[in-house]
Structure 1
């Protein structure tokens, strides 16, 4: 297995990444590390932090913008398709179900 080191930046108040298979808590690690197939298809993004990853300060968690408001990220999409595409994306990425990121997170000491 090839091990790749990657540095990602997340909000300092983001929750700690749950263990693989545990309930999603909005830590943002998976989407900050790489775009999912939804981003590949709708945002034409294959690498880097997902452009649809949004920090919600009121709930102190990250959310997928393709789940909360797809037409903000896919500007050519008619707004009447916002709700159906949000449902589709929610199901496809299993939003809020369980952590599927194999990433091992190490926090950088900030002084």
Structure 2
């Protein structure tokens, strides 16, 4: 199954989706097909269905923008603390580092 083309990839190939439970590799499959509960709750214009608006592409892999730089998506927060504090909280809430949680294709 192809992942929809997202801005920032410049046409490069993303990593292949790993098996469910395997270490994450930044393929972006899960976030490009369905947003988690964090971004839609905090981004007022986020659609109820479809891919996440906070999915970013950097250094050859997809990353969660809400973890990478939450103040970019929540500009009313002061940048001097938001990225450090909220990044860790959001990563914990999303289970970052626990392995691929997208069903196998």
TM (norm. structure 2) is: 0.81
Give the aligned length: 97
Moved more, 26-35 or 6-15: 6-15
Decide which structure has the larger Cα Rg and report it: 1
Q: Secondary structure at the match of 2:89?
A: helix
For 2:19, the equivalent position in structure 1 comes to: 19
- Residue 54 of structure 1 aligns to a residue whose secondary structure is strand
Counterpart in the other structure of 2:95: 94
Q: TM-score, normalised by structure 1?
A: 0.77
Gap runs ≥5 in structure 1: 1-5, 105-111
- In the alignment, is the contact (CA less than 8 A) between 2:19 and 2:104 conserved in 1? no
Asked if the contact 2:55–2:65 (Cα under 8 Å) also holds between the matched residues in 1, the reply is yes
Across the aligned residues of Structure 1 and Structure 2, the Cα RMSD in angstroms comes to: 1.8
1:33 aligns with: 33
Following superposition, the deviation at residue 72 of structure 1 comes to 0.6
- Counterpart CA distance in 1 for 2:69 and 2:16 is 25
The runs of 5 or more residues in structure 2 that have no matched partner are none
Deviations 1:14-43 (A, max 9, x none): 100001111111100000001101112212
Q: 2 CA distance for matches of 1:23 and 1:43?
A: 28
